[in-house]
Structures are given as C-alpha cells and as structure tokens.
Amino acid sequence: MVYQQFIFDSSASADANSPTFNIFRSPYVAKFKILTAQVPTTFHSTGRQNNIVAIRENGTVRYVVLPYGDFTAVTFPGMLQTALGAGYTVTYDESQRNVKIENATVDFSILGLDGGSTAYSQLGAKRVGESPTSHTFQGGVSDFTGTSSLLLVSSELLTQDVIYCANASLNVIALVELHSPQGSYVHWENPANWLTMGANLSYCKFRFLDSKTLNEVDFRGAPFTIQLAVLTGEDDETLY
C-alpha cells in the first residue's frame, strides 16, 4: 500500500491531553503530512503554560505560582497582589495598559522567560533579561489573552524538513494559529507540503505547546483530533 491515512482521536484515550497512539502494523513512513487538526481552546488564558512569576527580592529569586483562570485588566492585579504576598501593591495603569507592582520595603526585579517568568506576557515583562532593581516595576503592555498559537510537536514523526529556529531540539511539525473564541474548537488545515521521514512508525504521541513559553497547554479533558497522511513508498507526492 502506497498511501495510508490515520485519524487520531484523543477522546478514546485515558489521557485526552497528550495520549500515546499505537499504529497498526508499524508502517514504513517515507513521507508524511498532517492534513487537519481539531484543537479545543479550553485551556485557561493563565494556566500551567504561563503562570509563574520569577521575582528577585533583595538578591534572592522567588518563584510565585499564579492560580489558573481567565483574568482581565480588572481581575489580574488583585490576583497577582495576593500571590505576591504582604507588602506588594498591584494596580492597572489604563494609560500605559500594563500592571504596576510596588513594594516600599523590598528592592525587587522581575525576570523574563529565560529566568523562569512564564507569565511575562501578562506582566508586560521582557522575554529575555531582567528589569532594573527598584521598589516599582512597570513594563510594557500587559497581554491577558494568553496563548495565541500552538506548536504541534511529536518525538515519533521525525523529520529534518522543519526547523523551529527558537529551539532546534523540538520536533515541531505544525503551527496552529488560534482564531476561534475560547471554549470552542479551532479547525486547522495544513497549507504545507509532505515531510520526509524514512522510518517505521509503531506508535505516535502528540503534544501542543504554547508558542510563547514552549510549555504544554492543558485542554482540561477536551479531546483533539488529528488527521495524518502517510506515503509508504517513494512515489510522487503530487499524486496525493
């Protein structure tokens, strides 16, 4: 058989978030293509993918874990103030469109994503680097919308035809832009061509990562569906 098609439905698995799918007869995969994906947008705007604030206080770094939820400019400051603890005041600056963090008794700075702040986007902090040490932090524009696109990765569908420049160790096979309302489904169709693999496939596991933080999102039990096409011979892929 030259052409095969596989449909992966995570609702049939005990782990709907990142299940392992067994492949019948372990076909040889000369080339493959993700045809479509149905992805739920059920993860929180602040979730396990982006809920850590790394703060340096008087020289010591502390990692503050934010609760999961869907926060806004109205609700995020109070939540953050509670999470930071006594002495901190957090407000939202309407003119600057960002959060302002103050502590009159502590010299502190906010670390970027490279320092552990996966919530850097909500804070308006730098992705790389650290804010100046001060009693006040106020960065760039705060973004409370959360994850804007997902990276589909798989350690089994190995190919050298796709290079993710931000992290070459990740085997990224698709970028899924999120354009549907929260709580609904995104239908994604692959505009790209076939990818070369050249190996047998006995099982496959997919993960969806927040493109901003490279952390896995939590679909909170909602299933995803992926449609995969495989060429088992070196035939001209334009026929398919």
In this predicted model, which residue has the larger pLDDT, 13 or 104?
Answer: 104
Q: CATH number of the domain at 15, please.
A: 2.60.120.1100
Q: Are 55 and 218 in contact (CB under 8 A)?
A: no
Q: How many other C-beta atoms lie within 10 A of the C-beta of residue 119?
A: 24
Write out pLDDT tens, residues 113-134: 999 999 999 999 999 999 999 9
- Token pair for 40: 């739920």
Name the least confident of 11-25, 30-44, 113-127: 11-25
Q: 69-86: per-residue pLDDT in tens?
A: 999 999 999 999 999 999
Domain termination site, one of 88, 114, 138: 138
Provide the number of structural domains found in the chain.
2
Percentage with pLDDT > 90 across the chain? 86
Copy the structure tokens of residue 132.
């100046």
Alpha carbons within 13 angstroms on the beta-carbon side of residue 8 total 26
Residue range of the domain that includes 111: 52-138
pLDDT bin (cut points 50, 70, 90) of residue 169 is confident
Q: Which of 86, 111, 138 is the last residue of a domain?
A: 138
Assess whether 120 and 191 both reside in one domain: no
Residue-wise pLDDT tens digits, 136-162? 999 999 999 999 999 999 999 999 999
Q: Which two tokens stand for residue 82?
A: 């509670």
* Bridge partners (DSSP) listed for residue 55: 62, 110
- Position 237 pLDDT exceeds 80: no
CB 208 within 8 A of CB 24: no
58 and 170 both lie in a single domain: no
Please indicate, yes or no, whether residues 106 and 158 belong to a single structural domain of this protein: no
